[in-house]
Amino acid sequence: VRLAIMAVAAEAAGERTKKTYTSAACPVLFVDDVLRASAPTAITQVEFCGVVVTRLLMDSKVVFGVDDGTGVVECVLWMPRAKAGGGNAIPVEWNAFKRASEAVDRLGRIIRVRGKLSKYQGNLQVQAKSVQRLSDGNTELVQWRDARLCREHIGIAKAAGS
């Protein structure tokens, strides 16, 4: 699972600033690295791929589980809201939601999810902003390789208990 991370780091003065890693320096981790992280609130943005293992369609959202082989993360894809003025949601948002929900329409599909890591009722979940169906299974294998290398070289994996 490839997790593009925006880590929130405490400065010496006690202020919090966001550090964004470029794609070249972006740590690649597994789902269980995030689930076991000692300070999961320090990780805000995630990107990963895996297999859709659960799916629940509700009135205002689609809830689905993604398994990368190390763990399962619950993801939530919210339907676009209507504009504040009472009009319909922007058509672009509806099209993006439709494409994303079609990507998770069947169990067993390999997908890539991008979104915000959050907690709901004490459990970690991803508020999905983008969901893409992957047609090349090698993408997942490449990310596994990268995640194994990062476990050996990136400090955040050590903080996760590796």
In this predicted structure, what is the pLDDT of residue 49?
A: 82
Q: Is the pLDDT of residue 104 over 50?
A: yes
Which stretch, 20-29, 59-68, 84-93, has highest mean pLDDT? 59-68
Predicted structure pTM score: 0.69
Q: Is the pLDDT of residue 55 over 90?
A: yes
Q: What's the whole-number mean pLDDT along residues 33-40?
A: 60
Calpha distance 83→21 (Å, rounded): 33
CA distances from 158 to 15, 29, 37, 67, 112 (A): 24, 11, 9, 22, 25
Domains by residue range for the chain, with CATH: 6-159 (2.40.50.140)
- Are 28 and 146 contacting, i.e. CB atoms less than 8 angstroms apart? yes
Q: Which residue has the tokens 């959202």?
A: 61
Which is higher by pLDDT, 55 or 102?
A: 55
Average pLDDT of the residues of the chain: 71
Q: Is the pLDDT of residue 130 over 50?
A: yes
How many angstroms separate the first and last alpha carbons of the chain?
15
- What tokens were used for 139? 């993408």
